[in-house]
């Protein structure tokens, strides 16, 4: 087996080109210095391009297309990743049509679409997302402190929303992102960088290489757990975890509607596919609180 190469990146990042508090070069340097291989700057309705290349950090063009429904305040924020030009936001009549219009506009501009923070202002959920066509990614863990990622009784969290979208038969890949805005003060209540990222198994570190791998689900996402390897076949799923200090790791394989299929403890985990699952995905929980998520493997029925 060839060694897997994982490229670390953040898909949701703000700068002074919108409501972030550091300029694009400063922000890009922060990510480079903290071990990231690539970065998407996603300012609101602005395609931020650096004046100068930063050696050792691939910049993937991006924008947070920030719309709302016409007769209300409901925010609809869709990241365009790999867009070749600015995408103007479209405010439409309802939630589904507004998400769809902006996803379409992003794809027309050559990008892939990530549906951001569904629970920001409790804007929308799986009942809406399941009706949208052509979105590649969904933020399952947005680390911004104001976006209600975890939900509440009667309000599904973003991970549960993802499972319901997947259970409806719609293929969409999950992500963890920073949605970072604040780079000078550091507190849990501030949207700081470094809290959620993707690890992409791309053929090479290039814009098309990264965008293609994201579009096809060749990545996992994390808030602190790293994988050594992750492989799938028609019969089983195998993963190995990078050990950190004396942390203990629990891997949960789950299926449709988030139902737990199996649970194990240790630095590796295997799931044998029975054929009766709809899809299978893994979450790896560290005793220190970090977590990693793999993408769903759909079982051919
Ligand atoms: Zn944002």
Give the mean model confidence (pLDDT) for residues 156-179. Answer: 98
Q: How far is the CA of 41 from the centre of ligand 1 (A)?
A: 10
Q: Is-contact 203 213, C-beta < 8 A?
A: yes
Q: C-alpha dihedral over 258, 264, 266, 272, to 10 degrees?
A: -90
Q: How far is the CA of 119 from the centre of ligand 1 (A)?
A: 13
Q: How far is the CA of 226 from the centre of ligand 1 (A)?
A: 25
Q: How far is the CA of 279 from the centre of ligand 1 (A)?
A: 30
Q: How far is the CA of 301 from the centre of ligand 1 (A)?
A: 38
Query: 3-state SS string over the chain?
Result: CCCCCCEEEECCECCCCCCCCCCHHHHHHHHHHCCCCEEECCEECECCCCCCCCCCCEEECEEEEEEECCCCCCEEEEEEECCCCCCCCCCCCCHHHHHHHHHHHHHHCCCEEEECCCCHHHCCCHHHHCCCCCCCEEEEEECCCCCCCCCECCECCHHHHHHHHHHCCCCCEEEEECCECCCCCCCCCCCCCCCCEEEECCCCCCHHHHHHHHHCCCEEEECCCCEEEEEECCCEEEEEECCCCCCCEEEEEECHHHCEEEEEECCEEEEECCCCCCEEEEEEEECCCCEEECCCEECCC
Instruction: Tell whether the model's pLDDT for residue 179 goes beyond 90.
Output: yes
Q: How far is the CA of 2 from the centre of ligand 1 (A)?
A: 36
- In this prediction, residue 1 carries a pLDDT of 43
* Sign of the CA dihedral with 58 first, then 282, 234, and 1 last: positive
Q: Rounded distance, CA 221 to CA 177, Å?
A: 9
- The position carrying tokens 């919108």 is 18
Q: How far is the CA of 277 from the centre of ligand 1 (A)?
A: 35
Instruction: Tell whether the model's pLDDT for residue 162 goes beyond 80.
Output: yes
Q: How far is the CA of 242 from the centre of ligand 1 (A)?
A: 30
Give the mean model confidence (pLDDT) for residues 100-123. Answer: 97
Q: How far is the CA of 38 from the centre of ligand 1 (A)?
A: 17
- In this prediction, residue 122 carries a pLDDT of 95
Q: Rounded distance, CA 140 to CA 166, Å?
A: 12
What percent of the chain is predicted at pLDDT more than 90? 96
Give the mean model confidence (pLDDT) for residues 132-159. Answer: 97
How many Cβ atoms are within 10 Å of 256's Cβ, its own excluded? 17
Q: What are the structure tokens assigned to 73, written together?
A: 């305040």
pLDDT tens digits along 195-228: 999 999 999 999 999 999 999 999 999 999 999 9
Q: How far is the CA of 157 from the centre of ligand 1 (A)?
A: 18
- In this prediction, residue 2 carries a pLDDT of 52
Instruction: Tell whether the model's pLDDT for residue 89 goes beyond 90.
Output: yes
How many Cβ atoms are within 10 Å of 263's Cβ, its own excluded? 12
pLDDT tens digits along 29-77: 999 999 999 999 999 999 999 999 999 999 999 999 999 999 888 999 9
Distances (CA, A) of 146 to 80, 188, 190, 280: 21, 11, 9, 30
Q: How far is the CA of 228 from the centre of ligand 1 (A)?
A: 30
Q: How many residues does the chain have?
A: 301
Q: Rounded distance, CA 231 to CA 238, Å?
A: 5
Q: How far is the CA of 88 from the centre of ligand 1 (A)?
A: 16
Q: How far is the CA of 145 from the centre of ligand 1 (A)?
A: 12
- The position carrying tokens 């922060």 is 30
Q: Rounded distance, CA 174 to CA 163, Å?
A: 10
Q: How far is the CA of 286 from the centre of ligand 1 (A)?
A: 27
Instruction: Tell whether the model's pLDDT for residue 301 goes beyond 70.
Output: no
Q: Rounded distance, CA 18 to CA 15, Å?
A: 6
- The position carrying tokens 């439409």 is 92
Q: What backbone phi and psi angles, to 5 degrees, belong to 103?
A: -60, -45
Q: How far is the CA of 193 from the centre of ligand 1 (A)?
A: 12
> To the nearest whole number, what is the mean pLDDT of the chain?
96
What percent of the chain is predicted at pLDDT more than 70? 99
Q: How far is the CA of 300 from the centre of ligand 1 (A)?
A: 36
Domains of the chain, each with CATH number or no CATH: 7-221 (3.20.20.140), 224-301 (2.60.40.10)
Q: Rounded distance, CA 183 to CA 79, Å?
A: 21
Give the mean model confidence (pLDDT) for residues 100-115. Answer: 98
Diameter over CA atoms, the chain: 55
Q: Rounded distance, CA 221 to CA 140, Å?
A: 9
Q: How far is the CA of 68 from the centre of ligand 1 (A)?
A: 14
């Amino acid at each position: 087996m060839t060694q897997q190469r994982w490229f670390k990146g953040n898909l949701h990042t703000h700068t002074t080109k919108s409501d972030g508090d550091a300029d694009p070069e400063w922000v890009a340097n922060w990510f480079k210095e903290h071990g990231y291989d690539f970065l998407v700057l996603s300012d609101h309705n602005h395609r931020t391009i650096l004046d100068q290349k930063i050696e050792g950090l691939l910049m993937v063009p991006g924008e947070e297309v920030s719309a709302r429904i016409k007769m209300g305040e409901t925010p609809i924020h869709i990241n365009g990743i790999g867009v070749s030009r600015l995408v103007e936001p479209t405010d439409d009549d309802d939630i589904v049509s507004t998400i769809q219009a902006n996803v379409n506009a992003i794809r027309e501009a050559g990008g892939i679409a990530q549906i951001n923070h569904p629970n920001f202002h409790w804007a929308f959920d799986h009942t809406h997302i399941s009706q949208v066509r052509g979105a590649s990614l969904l933020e399952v863990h947005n680390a911004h402190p104001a976006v209600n990622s975890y939900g509440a009784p009667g309000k599904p969290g973003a991970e549960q929303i993802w499972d319901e979208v997947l259970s409806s038969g719609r293929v969409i890949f999950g992500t963890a992102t920073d949605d970072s805005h604040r780079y000078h003060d550091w507190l849990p209540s501030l949207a700081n960088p470094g809290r959620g990222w993707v690890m992409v198994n791309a053929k090479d570190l290039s814009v098309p290489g990264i965008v293609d791998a994201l579009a096809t689900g060749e990545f996992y996402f994390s808030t602190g757990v790293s994988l050594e390897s992750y492989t799938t076949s028609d019969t089983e799923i195998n993963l190995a975890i990078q050990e950190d200090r004396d942390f203990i790791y629990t891997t949960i394989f789950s299926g449709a509607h988030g139902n737990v299929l199996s649970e194990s403890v240790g630095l590796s985990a295997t799931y044998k596919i029975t054929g009766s699952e709809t899809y299978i995905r893994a979450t790896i929980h560290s005793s220190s609180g970090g977590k990693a998520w793999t993408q769903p493997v759909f079982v051919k029925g």
